[in-house]
Amino acid sequence: MSDLNAVLAHVDADLDAALARLFVVLRIKSISTDPAYAAECQACADWHVEDLRGIGFDASARATPGHPIVVAHDRSAKGASALFYGHYDVQPVDPLELWDADPFDPRIETLADGTRILRGRGTADDKGQLMAFVEACRAWKAVTGRLPIPMTILLEGEEESGGVNLPPFLKSHADELRADIGLICDTNMWDAKTPAIVTMLRGLCGEEIIIHAADRDLHSGFYGSAAANPNRILARIISDLHDADGRVTLAGFYDGVPELPEALRTQWDSLGFDAKAFLGAVGLSVPAGETGRSVLEMVWSRPTCEINGMGGGYQGAGFKTVIPAMASAKISFRLVFDQDPHKIRAAFRAFVRARVPADCRVEFLEHGSGQAIGFPIDAPAFGKARDALTAEWGKPAVFIGGGGSIPVTHELKKALGMDVVLAGFGLDDDRIHSPNEKYNLESFHRGIRSWVRILDALGRDATP
């Protein structure tokens, strides 16, 4: 039996023990955004340190101004090196009453169609995903006594609460962490049977605007028409952000946005994506983005401007005839390719100021930014990972885009100069960040097997 087949057989035989280890870490309430759970976050980091030491890694929990970052090295192998990133923190569980059971009491359930799932907070995001990778390393070490490639594991404890301490940590530890290729598991498959590698993610620019007018709410009968109404000012600003074809009207907004590379367009066209079913699943039927663009283009490779929240004036029960003193909106821009979030923010603020009357004022609150990122699908590591996933799942792995943002990918590229293979095994219905989060048992089991194969493929020669 080859080393690869022996390791895969070990994964199958050790699945119950792997689940037991996963359930231990799932029971730790590592909610990073709530200071009340700081000790739990520390405990989770410490658990991973001891677990990784147990399989031969030189592991430690590094202090930051927030929650610790776990760093573990096993550089005994030769050849191209890899840095794996995951995060051990989880989202808050509120509203607790919407959970069917204790979110930190993980369990296996069997759904009506026979699918077996893992239920609990962190099962999919990201403890189940990161432990699948760790279990792949454990299996290689158990069977062969070594890993196929030199490996560093980096586990963050603040991904769900902004991750402000990771960028300076990467910069100050660049020489220690730098590798030939990055590996991230915090993504989804294309569908339940088709593995995927995400090769492009959108960036983000978040802004909150507050329009201030009179020094107090005004009686709309006494002051109507004569006094500036922040709601009307805000409505005009928001209305002007898009033209009749759905394009964003900010000056220079599309700078750095080329057409989709033809190789990716061809593959996306072959996916059999059902735009009608995609929108129908949420009770809609008409695409609302740029005229002439496919839905996949809209959610993967085109920039957006979305109004995420609005408020102003009386919104309680009944009716109150006032002109409010202020109105506000939260607006986010998803960015693609080489769009500069700082230029987008400056253009947006100039756009807003030009529409605010002279006797009113606008306040801006910044809510984060990050650039989009894309990776070359013809790089050797991506082909090796694709072939490894195809071998495990029996269906050709596909290169896809991601509509969301995973800021660490850009940080790894910027601070460490590495491309990143994003290969995760989550599904669209995993309910991450929501009550009753789940992760398919098959995703966990075959995720371990998939990482075993990817590590084997990356170790075949010294070229990343």
Q: What is the pLDDT of residues 189-225, one digit of tens each?
A: 999 999 999 998 999 999 999 999 999 999 999 999 9
pLDDT tens-digit map of 434-457? 999 999 999 999 999 999 999 999
CA angle 355, 343, 65 (to 5 degrees): 110
Q: Which residues have C-beta within 8 Å of that of residue 302, sequence separation ≥ 6? A: 257, 289, 290, 293, 336
Sheet containing strand 116-119, strands side by side: 107-110, 116-119, 438-440
Question: What sign does the dihedral 271-275-276-278 (CA atoms) show?
Answer: positive
CATH class of the domain comprising 3-200+372-458: alpha beta
Using CA atoms in the order 257, 259, 262, 263, what is the torsion angle rounded to 10 degrees? Answer: 20
Mean pLDDT for 267-272 is: 90
Strand-pair category, 304-312 with 326-335: antiparallel
Tokens, residue 381: 């590591």
pLDDT of residue 294: 93
Sheet containing strand 203-212, strands side by side: 304-312, 326-335, 203-212, 361-370
pLDDT of residue 236: 97
Mean pLDDT for 456-463 is: 78
CATH class of the domain comprising 203-257+303-370: alpha beta
Binned at pLDDT 50, 70 and 90, residue 463 comes out as very low
Mean pLDDT for 29-44 is: 98
Tokens, residue 196: 């995927």
Per the prediction, the chain carries an average pLDDT of 95
pLDDT tens-digit map of 46-83? 999 999 999 999 999 999 999 999 999 999 999 999 99
pLDDT of residue 377: 82
Tokens, residue 247: 């394009």
CB 353 within 8 Å of CB 211: no
Mean pLDDT for 234-258 is: 97
Using the predicted structure, report yes or no on whether residue 464 has a pLDDT greater than 50.
no
Expressed in percent and rounded to 5, the helix, strand and coil fractions of the chain are 35, 25, 40
Closest listed residue to residue 10, CA positions, set 116, 144, 133: 144
- Within the chain, which residue ranges are assigned CATH 3.30.70.360? 203-257+303-370
3 state DSSP class of 57: coil
Using the predicted structure, report yes or no on whether residue 373 has a pLDDT greater than 70.
yes
Question: Of the given ranges (79-88, 258-267, 455-464), which has the lowest mean pLDDT?
Answer: 455-464
Using the predicted structure, report yes or no on whether residue 355 has a pLDDT greater than 70.
yes
With pLDDT > 70 as the criterion, what percentage of the chain qualifies? Answer: 99
Mean pLDDT for 220-249 is: 97
Using the predicted structure, report yes or no on whether residue 20 has a pLDDT greater than 80.
yes
- The H or E element that residue 233 is part of is helix 230-240
The residue ranges of DSSP E strands in 313-397, in sequence order, are 322-323, 326-335, 361-370, 373-374
CA dist list (Å): 439 to 139, 306, 429: 21, 29, 9
Alpha helices by DSSP H, 68-195: 127-144, 166-172, 174-177
Interatomic CA distance for residues 142 and 145, integer angstroms: 6
Paired strand residues for 73: 58, 152
- Within the chain, which residue ranges are assigned CATH 3.40.630.10? 3-200+372-458
Residue 145 CA, chain-centre distance (Å), reads: 33
Mean pLDDT for 185-192 is: 95
pLDDT of residue 461: 65
pLDDT of residue 369: 84
Neighbours of 112 (CB within 10 A): 5
